[in-house]
Structure 1
């Protein structure tokens, strides 16, 4: 076996050996930087779920431009609320190393709640006059 092939195999083994450690890092974070990074990852996952629900609603609305505009305005207002609320919640630790953790945790909580709210629009019963989103049928 050539030395370059041995180096490649050792590199792959070393890389694979570190992957579980990265995943486990968030199971029991040991320092503030890791806690902040893990909270950021949780928020990213929550934000992806929110965007998926939002996109599904937009798809169901179809060509109804007025309803889409209303949804867009509501979502932008909600994002402004979320960001302002989380800045307020973290005000006492602003500038501290824990600030990103507090903001990300707040954003995750509010984003998950908004996702559930959007999902209720996706599960409306036929004829529900309180539901602005057409059924999937």
Structure 2
């Protein structure tokens, strides 16, 4: 199963229940349904950026099967961590009408942090021994 598929599986179920919101609705969201939809929209955007960066990293590792396997394992573990962490973080409102929004916002926050990590991997300088990726061509 491709990693982008795995990432999308992690968030697809949430989107199914929240619908999509227009950008102007999000700026002035005043009802919970709209706030949920806006939180889902934000996560979807962060997730799309994460997937694009993941593909760039995979491309840089195309000649390194062992490190690619480590990337896949790390990303699977990260998805499990993100989901479990956000389930825990939203457990205080479990069963409440605000739970989906809190969970979505948490996942978006964690995804943005992973995006930052991926950007760091992709921008490290040649010769940096802590850089896992080969230089870009």
**Interval containing the TM-score (normalised by the shorter chain):** 0.7 to 0.9
Aligned counterparts of 1:103 and 1:80: Cα–Cα separation in 2: 14
If you compute each CA radius of gyration, which structure gives the higher value, 1 or 2?
1
User: For 1:64-110, what per-residue CA distance to the aligned partner results, in whole angstroms no more than 9, with x for missing partners?
Assistant: 11110000000111111100000000001111110110001000111
The alignment partner of 1:39 has SS state of helix
Please give the TM-score of this superposition, normalised by the length of structure 1: 0.82
The alignment partner of 2:30 has SS state of coil
Please give the TM-score of this superposition, normalised by the length of structure 2: 0.82
Aligned counterparts of 1:22 and 1:88: Cα–Cα separation in 2: 29
Q: Which runs of 5+ in 1 are unaligned?
A: 1-20
Aligned counterparts of 1:44 and 1:132: Cα–Cα separation in 2: 27
Q: Which runs of 5+ in 2 are unaligned?
A: 1-20
User: For 1:40-87, what per-residue CA distance to the aligned partner results, in whole angstroms no more than 9, with x for missing partners?
Assistant: 000000001111111100001112111100000001111111000000
State the 4+ residue runs in structure 1 displaced beyond 2 angstroms.
Answer: none
Q: Are positions 1:66 and 2:66 aligned together?
A: yes
Aligned counterparts of 1:132 and 1:30: Cα–Cα separation in 2: 45
Of 80-89 and 125-134, deviating more is 125-134
